[in-house]
Amino acid sequence: MADWSQTWTFFEGEWREGNVPLWGARTHAIWLGSSVFDGARVFEGVAPDLDLHCARVNASAKTMFLKAPIGADEWVGLARDGMKRFPAAAELYIRPMVWAERAGPLALPGDPESTRFALTVYDSPMRKPDGFSITLSPFRRPTLDSAPVDAKAGCLYPNNARAMMEARSRGFDNCVVCDILGNVAELANSNVFMVKDGVVFTPMPNGTFLNGITRQRVMKLLRADGVAVVEQVLRYADFEGADEIFATGNASKVLPITRIGERVLQPGPLYRKARALYWAYAHAS
């Protein structure tokens, strides 16, 4: 039996402690992949952009032909209620989930009338900003015409997982995943930025990767502070020659990348600015 961290799950109208069973063998989400989810973070007593994460899970549900089971405000209320079940200083992951229970009349799509939901809140310590290494993955991101990349859908993540595992088999922590044309899309589990000559660059959203909420927030904060941030087509070689590289994502927010291939990097001033600005925003919001 798995040793789960402290967990509370809201399901079928009540809070239940632990890793609550949600599905049966015939549940569409398990059989045919109709689950969507989102993730928000709680740290140092704050939950930045919780409302945006809760709105996005409903948007993802609609993309997967499901119904939004409750409104975004209701998601937020449930999340805040769940947070009260933990110590004030706890570092938490908030995960709303939506899925189809049954197949529809055509068998392959889920029946939107069978949409169900749960919200899980659990202890999840944030990674320290001590840096990590990346390499180029041989795997690619799918395109919008080949996968539901405009949703935070569970069915997309096995591809990310195999990219991560392949990178780790070669001694790296994470990897750059490109789109079908060989342009950089993202890392296996987060968005990626690079710095060159005092300008911050990041891949332009092109329908192959999720335009992350933390990504958008960091860009907005940097620009408001006078930093030039450019979204454009980037190749792996651009990152190999960068002055700084950093990642943004919900799990750890803003982290430095300290090695690409065999080249060692130091956490730079624009990474430090991005992290400081985000932390200030989180505590002010």
The tens digit of pLDDT for each residue in 74-121 reads 999 999 999 999 999 999 999 999 999 999 887 788 999 999 999 999
pLDDT at 2 over 70: no
- What pLDDT score was predicted for residue 221? 98
- What pLDDT score was predicted for residue 59? 97
| pLDDT, mean of residues 138-150 | 94
- What pLDDT score was predicted for residue 1? 44
Region of 182 (left: φ > 0; alpha: ψ -120 to 50; beta: rest) is left
Distance CA 80, CA 50 (A): 9
Kindly report, residue by residue over 220-275, the tens digit of the pLDDT. Answer: 999 999 999 999 999 999 999 999 999 999 999 999 999 999 999 999 999 999 99
| pLDDT, mean of residues 129-135 | 97
Domains parsed from the chain with CATH numbers? 7-123 (3.30.470.10), 132-284 (3.20.10.10)
- What pLDDT score was predicted for residue 116? 97
Q: What does pLDDT average to over the chain?
A: 96
| pLDDT, mean of residues 166-178 | 98
Taking each continuous run of H as one helix and of E as one strand, the counts in the chain are 7, 15
| pLDDT, mean of residues 158-182 | 97
| pLDDT, mean of residues 153-179 | 97
Determine whether 157 is exposed, middle or buried from the number of CB atoms within 10 Å of its CB (0-12, 13-18, 19+).
middle
| pLDDT, mean of residues 124-153 | 95
Cβ proximity of 153 and 36 under 8 Å: yes
Kindly report, residue by residue over 11-41, the tens digit of the pLDDT. Answer: 999 999 999 999 999 999 999 999 999 999 9
pLDDT at 142 over 80: yes
What is the percentage of the chain residues whose pLDDT exceeds 70? Answer: 99
